[in-house]
Amino acid sequence: MKPLSPRKQQILRALVEEYIHTATPVASEALVRKYDLNFSSATVRHELAGLEEAHLIYQPHTSAGRIPTDLGYRYFVEHLMQESALSLEEQRLIRHQFYQVQDQLDQWVRLTASVMARLLHSAAVMTSPRASEGRLKHFELLSVTDFAAYMVLVLMDGSVKQQRLLLETPLQQEELSRLAAQLNQLFENKNDREIRELLGAREFGPVERLIAGTIAQMLEQHGDPIGDIFYREGVVNILEQPEYSRIGPEDERNERVRKVIEVLEQNRFLPVLASQLRSSDGVQVIIGGENQWDGMKDVSMVVARYGQEGKVGGLLGVIGPTRMQYSRAIAVVRYMTQVMNELLAELYGYE
């Protein structure tokens, strides 16, 4: 969009900061009084009209103040927002918490989500770290009935996966164990593509093909960088925000609450992140209507990948109303990404 004049930028910055703080439409008089603007209320009103024409702010109803649009928040984040960082005291306290759960990967993930939710009073989400591709370490077949078995896969990154296997012919545990031992020798440290290549190059019986095909499918699914295991903390924090507790008619508030709970509880934000979060791009901000889910039009996400590309990693971030403290959220997500990067580098021994 066309660059704003310095005066419009100053007014837009003040309006966004004031609305983030108060959650109420901002009047021109309040901007002049609280932000030491060197021009009159009439001049501010004129500039606000220009910002409204540019679709950066809007007036919810006649005689009300103005509210930032998603585009206004985007302009603020990219051009006007002042960078912030966690204080040294906050950093020290966070690292002390991680020191107390040394070498407990699942506790690192839970603690990271908990810290982000507490520092930002928002919902925090995080996926468990996983390898960028699934490689088989070994698998076992456990008889359930004559025509069914459980397949248990252990992957090279330590992940464990299970799936029920339906058999066309009855097999006892002794035969299942023999097949597992035979195929483990062939498939150890192989990914899904390499297993499928072996299937095309060698002769296998029907049961062996069923087992190998199932393993390949499970390894392929594991390669999804977003992952299927995630943690969330602080969902109630969103519901305490004015957008969901007191702003607007009760039926509208209830609908906003229903949508955000549905999105978080049913993991509907994960496909959004899979399609919009590019790798190795640091912290990213997805604001309201920029995402594809109608249920997330009233929320923003500040998210990042952690770990090392091509090795082990995951995703972490926070979700809150579009009226969130973006600078603070970016600082928290960036710092927690750094902490997880260091922990994983030490655990897995990469630089």
Record: fold of 6-80: Arc Repressor Mutant, subunit A (1.10.10)
pTM of this structure: 0.78
At residue 150, φ and ψ (nearest 5 deg) are -100, 130
CB 329 within 8 A of CB 120: yes
With a pLDDT cut of 90, the percent of the chain lying above it is 54
Residue whose token pair is 């021009």: 39
Please give the sequence-ordered ranges of beta strands (E in DSSP) within the chain, or none if there are none. 57-58, 67-68, 123-127, 130-131, 136-145, 148-155, 160-166, 230-233, 284-287, 299-307, 312-321
Within 10 Å of residue 248's Cβ, how many Cβ atoms? 14
With CA atoms as reference, report the closest residue to 305 among 330, 333, 328: 333
Strand partners, 286: 301
From the options 3.40.50.1000, 3.30.1380.10, 3.30.450.40, 3.30.420.280, give the CATH code of 88-131+226-348.
3.30.450.40
Q: Give the span between the Cα atoms of 304 and 278, in whole angstroms.
A: 9
In the prediction, which pLDDT does 160 show? 86
pLDDT in tens, 111-138: 999 999 999 999 998 888 877 678 899 9
pLDDT of residue 104: 78
Q: Where are the domains of the chain?
A: 6-80, 88-131+226-348, 136-222
| C-alpha span between 348 and 54 (Å, rounded) | 50
Helix (H, G, I), strand (E, B) or coil at 142: strand
Q: Go through the chain and tell me how many residues it has.
A: 351
Q: pLDDT tens digit string along 241-268?
A: 888 888 888 888 888 888 878 777 766 5
Task: Specify the pLDDT at position 298.
Answer: 83
Answer left, alpha or beta for residue 160, where phi above 0 means left and psi between -120 and 50 means alpha: beta
pLDDT averaged per 10 residues, the chain (length 351) = 89 96 92 89 93 94 89 96 94 92 82 94 87 86 94 86 91 95 95 93 93 92 62 85 84 83 69 60 86 77 84 86 94 96 83 61
**How many CB atoms are closer than 10 A to CB 112?**
25
Q: Label residues 176-214 b or e (16+ Cβ within 10 Å = b).
A: beebbeebeeebeebbbebbbeeeeeeeeeebbeebbeb
Range 136-222 classified under CATH 3.30.390.60: yes
d(CA 137, CA 153): 8
